[in-house]
């Protein structure tokens, strides 16, 4: 309950490291000015980051007669971070340097019926082996592995995955991974949180205190940032915005709820709008969500009336669900991310804004921005690796 001095030190370290990544090369007094810290505190943190191997002095800046100032940057030759994005259909692994630049990638497909925990863990470990071999990284240089798994991760390291063909209930994923990756710290979380951390460090949420990052894909959910930090709730399940109710006695949800947001704006829900608009639509690929969503995007751009109606319907539901979030949480910015947002985001956004303006109260509505994820690479593996960096800085 109490905010501790450690919290403050951690927050300050995060702020300095973020500024370093965003603006290097910088000198100590730039860091102090940008973060609002005193020059003394900023200097202390710079020294800590140097000792941790995350920061390098890369030259000097003349200072009109005074002592030249050291130019500081993330230590590109420093420790390596690994981010893993597990989805229903793939395992994607990336190796990063301390500036969170990608050094190497590896990807393995997963098939709907080959998703046992042992199989998935094996694909993760192979992906890491491949990627670190490409990047020529010795294991001892790896600061840690961040793994994002689409489901609920518990403090004891077990995970449940809520995907149609996965039967993962309370799988001891952390134990399985640390068995195969001895001596490497592993952090587990879900894509909602990974994407949110990526937005906070590198995306539309940088420098914002109160943020909601909405992931739109097969599943739908939110990452909430409160006072500049990820909000996890009493039992680490905060952010299940996708399962808040939109339609009483509405569509059935795979998670047991009824009429929730996900059943109207998740990929299967959008496909259902399409089937209800035109059961014989050539845009509908019943067994391929991504093909259907991309076909909708293309047809919408070409002026197809059925696609336009489906986009309008989806945008209206999403707008109401976003207005609810605005009224309750009064965020500065709402960011849409995930593969459905990548594909349909710019098409639905006008409908979302028009509906949210109608359903949100005037004051919080005027204080909120709605934007698409500006990060042009995989935000989930990036965020998962950033969780490792945050863990190390704590």
Residues that bind a copy of itself (CB under 8 A): 1-5, 7-8, 11-12, 15, 35-36, 152, 207-210, 222, 224, 226-228, 231-241, 243-248, 255-258, 320, 323-325, 327-332, 358-364, 366-368
Nearer to a copy of itself, 62 or 362 (CB): 362
Cα–Cα distance for residue pair 125/114, rounded to 1 Å: 16
3 state DSSP class of 307:
helix
Among 95, 257, 310, 336, binds Zn ion (CB under 5 A): 257
Nearer to a copy of itself, 96 or 317 (CB): 317
Sheet with 159-161: strands ordered across? 151-153, 159-161, 168-171
Window of 62-70, 246-254, 362-370, 379-387 that interacts with Zn ion by CB under 5 A = 246-254
Nearer to Zn ion, 53 or 250 (CB): 250
User: Which residues lie closer than 8 Å to 305 by C-beta, 6 or more apart?
Assistant: none
Q: Is 255 in the site for Zn ion (CB under 5 A)?
A: yes
3 state DSSP class of 8:
helix
Nearer to Zn ion, 173 or 220 (CB): 220
Cα–Cα distance for residue pair 391/21, rounded to 1 Å: 17
Least spacing, CB of residue 278 vs a copy of itself, in Å: 22
Residues that bind Zn ion (rule: CB under 5 A) add up to a total of 6
Q: How many CB atoms lie within 10 A of CB 34?
A: 18
Q: Is 253 in the site for Zn ion (CB under 5 A)?
A: yes
Position with the least CB separation from Zn ion: 253
Distances from the Cα of 46 to the Cα of 39, 77, 162, 376, 386, angstroms: 10, 17, 42, 29, 19
Nearer to a copy of itself, 121 or 204 (CB): 204
Nearer to Zn ion, 81 or 257 (CB): 257
Least spacing, CB of residue 375 vs a copy of itself, in Å: 20
Least spacing, CB of residue 95 vs a copy of itself, in Å: 30
Q: Which helix (H) or strand (E) holds 180?
A: helix 173-180
Q: Is 260 in the site for Zn ion (CB under 5 A)?
A: yes
User: 100-159: which residues touch Zn ion (CB under 5 A)?
Assistant: none
* Bond into 25 cis (ω within 30): yes
Residue 102, burial from CB neighbour count under 10 angstroms (0-12, 13-18, 19+): middle
39 contacts 32 by C-beta, under 8 angstroms: yes
Q: Which residues bind Zn ion (CB under 5 A)?
A: 243, 253, 255, 257, 260, 262
């Amino acid at each position: 309950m109490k905010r501790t001095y450690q919290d403050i030190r951690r927050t300050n370290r995060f702020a300095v490291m973020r500024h370093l990544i965003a603006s290097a090369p910088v000198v100590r007094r730039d860091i102090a000015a940008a973060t609002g810290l005193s020059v003394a505190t900023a200097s202390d943190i710079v020294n800590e980051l140097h000792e941790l191997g995350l920061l390098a002095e890369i030259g000097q800046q003349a200072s009109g007669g005074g002592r030249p100032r050291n130019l500081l940057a993330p230590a590109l030759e420093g420790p390596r971070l690994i981010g893993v994005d597990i989805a229903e259909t793939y395992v994607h692994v990336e190796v990063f340097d301390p500036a969170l630049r990608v050094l190497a990638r590896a990807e393995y497909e997963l098939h709907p019926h080959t998703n046992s925990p042992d199989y998935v863990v094996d694909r993760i470990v192979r992906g890491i082996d491949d990627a670190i071999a490409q990047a020529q990284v010795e294991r001892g240089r790896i600061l840690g592995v961040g793994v994002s798994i689409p489901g609920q991760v518990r403090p004891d390291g077990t995970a449940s995955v809520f995907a149609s063909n996965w039967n993962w209930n309370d799988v001891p994923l952390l134990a399985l991974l640390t068995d195969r990756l001895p001596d490497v710290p592993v952090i587990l979380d879900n894509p909602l949180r990974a994407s949110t951390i990526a937005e906070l460090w590198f995306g539309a949420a940088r420098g914002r205190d109160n943020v909601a990052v909405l992931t739109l894909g097969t599943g739908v959910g939110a990452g909430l940032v409160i006072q500049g930090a990820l909000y996890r709730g009493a039992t680490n399940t905060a952010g299940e915005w996708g399962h808040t109710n939109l339609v009483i006695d509405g569509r059935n949800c795979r998670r047991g709820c009824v009429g929730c947001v996900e059943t109207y704006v998740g990929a299967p829900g959008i496909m259902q709008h399409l089937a209800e608009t035109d059961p014989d639509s050539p845009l509908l690929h019943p067994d391929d969500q991504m093909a259907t969503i991309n076909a909708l995007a293309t047809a919408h751009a070409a002026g197809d009336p059925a696609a336009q109606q489906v986009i309008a319907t989806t945008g209206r539901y999403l707008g109401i669900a976003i207005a609810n979030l605005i009224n309750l949480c009064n965020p500065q910015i709402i960011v849409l991310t995930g593969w459905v947002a990548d594909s349909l985001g710019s098409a639905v956004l006008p409908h979302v804004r028009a509906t949210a303006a109608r359903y949100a109260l005037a004051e919080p509505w005027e204080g909120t921005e709605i934007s698409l994820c500006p990060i042009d690479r995989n935000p989930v593996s990036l965020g998962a690796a950033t969780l490792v960096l945050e863990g190390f800085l704590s």
